Structure 1
């Protein structure tokens, strides 16, 4: 899935007032003099993994830059695996586990919805996506915190892959394989643009434009590609799904206010 290739760099960012957490209303508790009999059936308490909870709590203490470089490193590792394939069996392993398609899902390889989002078979595709993750991801991770950021990134990666797989039979290239971090990177980029719509982006490192203009141009390009079925080899549906999730996540987190919402 070729990315929104965010071959763009942030040069100035206009930030508004700092966001503030929501304040909980002080609602007095009311007690009752009635004593209710215990029900005959008590549902079991939900199972909670202390290990997972501890990991989730510790995530937000991680340096946001380390999260971004960790994701870039994971993508670089898979790229290295592609570049060093020297036998048909190794290539088959990569195709089986680091690309996705309707056939993959039908055969039970559901994990490829995530692993394909860390997979780039050529360096141009890799650098395009990783530049976008570096320029926009560091900012978004600092705002959301590592735990929420990884939820957005990994969730949008799976959702974008699924959207591409579901839509694949509608296109002439229905038997093609999909891979790439475009959906996840587009979600992060869309969130950043919603957060700072009037910041300046150098389109192709040359033309300075407001962020919302650049984002709109890329979305229009993907709509044009998705509707036209031009067999460009680009996963336009995955791009649109990722961007949509990024905008939705921003809406749920901030809405029209500057404070966090529960999500």
Structure 2
């Protein structure tokens, strides 16, 4: 089984093959070959009651082998892109965009089966649009949590693809939507500043919650420590003893 997991795995898929009858480096037609029919049968299960039974690894292996060794076929390329994108793997999704970008750069793109010749000028853009619309659909299944590098890889690959699409005058609306989706799914990170701000806010909140008790404490303390009321001084004329005792009480206070 073959599985694409790195950029270097794209090179054999993109390399030109032997020239066809018109001299274009696209190899031979694939539609009647056993590998093509097997691949097509597997991909026909997608979206049907047999969807769970799609042999994705088999489909990917067949597509890789045909594009690398036998012929350049845009439908086979589309099936391979589907295999790369269906499982929500950020690395492989980025590689699918890189594969499509680099395919657009190849001299065989305009002569690839089954849309070679004059009729391909109208059909290739439609097929390309199907590729990109499907990419938008699968982008919703990507998860970039704790995977900033995967997000950056997808974003970079998409930017390059958009540039190439403009040069080729191909439909790019779906890619604009894909860009919006990726940005919406960018992994969020809590900055130290925001954490510090949150701690400050929490501390302030705690102080506010505690402040009523803090304000009440001095009052209670004041009640407990309030000075005793001074005794009332009363002097009686002609009663020296009583007056002396009253003065002594005032002195003690």
Normalised by the length of structure 2, the TM-score is 0.26
Higher helix share: 2
Select the structure with the greater relative contact order (CA < 8 A; seq sep ≥ 6): 1
**Which structure has the larger Rg over C-alpha atoms?**
2
Normalised by the length of structure 1, the TM-score is 0.25
